[in-house]
């Protein structure tokens, strides 16, 4: 087909091999495999390009979200950062990493370009854990190794500076008057039993019973006694009786202890293992019931 300039158009004949019904050769199979490999490689390159673009425009992301598109191929990124003091501990906060050192607390922005932000200076951080559901960072920190709790919203504002109200508030509290802490343990599930208001304290002091122990605190959450009530076994039920005693019902025995000191006053062994739940108490008579799945409802008085 000619144009006004006298140029010639060339045509390449197209042949559809499918009409011949021929079977593919080894060369055809190799070409097909190469094409599939090239297509998969192109997809990975496009995915990486989108990820890089997202990182370029990212602001410090201190929320637990991941901008990386879903892929079965794991991403391995290497961060090499120099710190001016020894690293003692670390904890993930969403996709980012909190780093505790001899001289402060820092955040490594893993959602962006890997920048390090200083959060707290001139304070030693020995151990820490992020509890996002409670909005807190639990730490052993400072010269006296105190148990301190920092609010995540306050730490976030140290970077973003977008909440004037949070900036006015103190960002951390100490847990009681504990000093010289070496280690703490956060339990995933804690079994609470009872809160007993101690006699002759005008309601200002109490015994908190949980798991297999009890601690003495005041209404401000401070420890009031260097004593921990320790049961011989994990009780299934705990009850205060008005003779200034506390009863722990375990599967093997009933323990009677002083509510003010935790000292053991008596033990009564069961003939067989039983799990009972406290219902009520009056005039030193305690009523209990077995678990809900027992076929015949039964009540026990002690």
The model's pTM is 0.47
Q: How large a percentage of the chain has pLDDT more than 70?
A: 65
Residues 145-204: pLDDT tens digits? Answer: 999 999 999 999 999 888 888 888 889 999 878 888 888 877 667 778 888 889 888 889
Which carries the bigger pLDDT value, residue 249 or residue 41?
249
Q: Pick the closest to residue 280 from 194, 191, 202 (CA basis).
A: 194
Q: What is the pLDDT of residue 156?
A: 93
Q: What is the pLDDT averaged over residues 227-233?
A: 90
In 10 A of CB 125, how many CB atoms? 28
**192-301: CATH, from 2.40.128, 3.30.70, 3.40.30, 3.30.1180:** 2.40.128
Of 16-25, 139-148, 187-196, give the range with the top mean pLDDT: 139-148
Question: How far apart are the C-alpha atoms of 137 and 119, rounded to whole Å?
Answer: 13
Q: Which CATH architecture has domain 87-174?
A: Beta Barrel (2.40)
Confidence of residue 277 (pLDDT cuts 50, 70, 90): low
Answer left, alpha or beta for residue 80, where phi above 0 means left and psi between -120 and 50 means alpha: beta
Number of H helices and E strands in the chain, helices first, is 3, 19
For residue 230 the two structure tokens come to 């320790």
Residue 95 predicted with pLDDT over 70: yes
Residue with tokens 């069961």: 270
Highest mean pLDDT among 40-54, 55-69, 208-222, 280-294 belongs to 208-222
Q: What is the pLDDT of residues 105-131, one digit of tens each?
A: 999 887 767 788 999 999 999 999 999
Residue 18: per-residue pLDDT: 47
Cβ atoms of 159 and 116 closer than 8 Å:
no
Domain residue limits, the chain: 87-174, 192-301
DSSP of 178-227: --S-------S---EEEEEEPTTTTTSEEEEEETTEEEEEETTS-EEEEE
State the average pLDDT for the chain: 76
Q: How confident is the model at residue 15 (pLDDT cuts 50, 70, 90)?
A: very low
- Please report the pLDDT score of residue 53 as a whole number: 58
């Amino acid at each position: 087909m000619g144009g006004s300039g006298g140029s010639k158009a060339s045509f390449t004949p197209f042949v559809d091999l499918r009409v011949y019904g021929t079977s593919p050769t080894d060369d055809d199979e190799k070409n097909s495999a190469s094409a599939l490999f090239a297509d998969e490689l192109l997809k990975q390159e496009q995915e990486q390009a989108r990820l890089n673009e997202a990182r370029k425009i990212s602001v410090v992301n201190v929320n637990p979200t991941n901008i990386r598109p879903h892929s079965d191929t794991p991403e391995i990124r290497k961060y090499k950062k120099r710190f001016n003091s020894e690293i003692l501990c670390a904890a993930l906060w969403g996709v980012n990493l909190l780093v505790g050192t001899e001289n402060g607390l820092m955040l490594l922005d893993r959602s962006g370009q890997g920048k390090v932000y200083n959060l707290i200076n001139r304070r030693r951080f020995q151990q820490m854990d992020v509890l996002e559901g409670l909005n807190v960072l639990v730490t052993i920190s400072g010269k006296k190794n105190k148990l301190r709790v920092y609010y995540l919203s306050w730490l976030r504002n140290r970077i973003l500076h977008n909440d004037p109200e949070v900036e006015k508030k103190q960002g951390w509290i100490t847990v009681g008057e504990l000093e010289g802490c070496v280690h703490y343990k956060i339990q995933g599930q804690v079994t609470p039993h009872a809160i007993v208001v101690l006699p002759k304290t005008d309601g200002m002091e109490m015994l908190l019973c949980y798991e297999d122990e009890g601690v003495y605190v005041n209404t401000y959450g401070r420890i009031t006694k260097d004593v921990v009530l320790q049961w011989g076994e994990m009780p299934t039920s705990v009850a205060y009786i008005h003779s200034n005693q506390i009863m722990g019902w375990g599967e093997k025995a009933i323990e009677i202890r002083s509510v003010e000191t935790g000292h053991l006053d008596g033990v009564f062994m069961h003939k067989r293992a039983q799990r009972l739940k406290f219902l009520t108490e009056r005039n030193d008579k305690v009523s209990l019931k077995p678990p809900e799945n027992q076929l015949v409802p039964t009540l026990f008085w002690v």
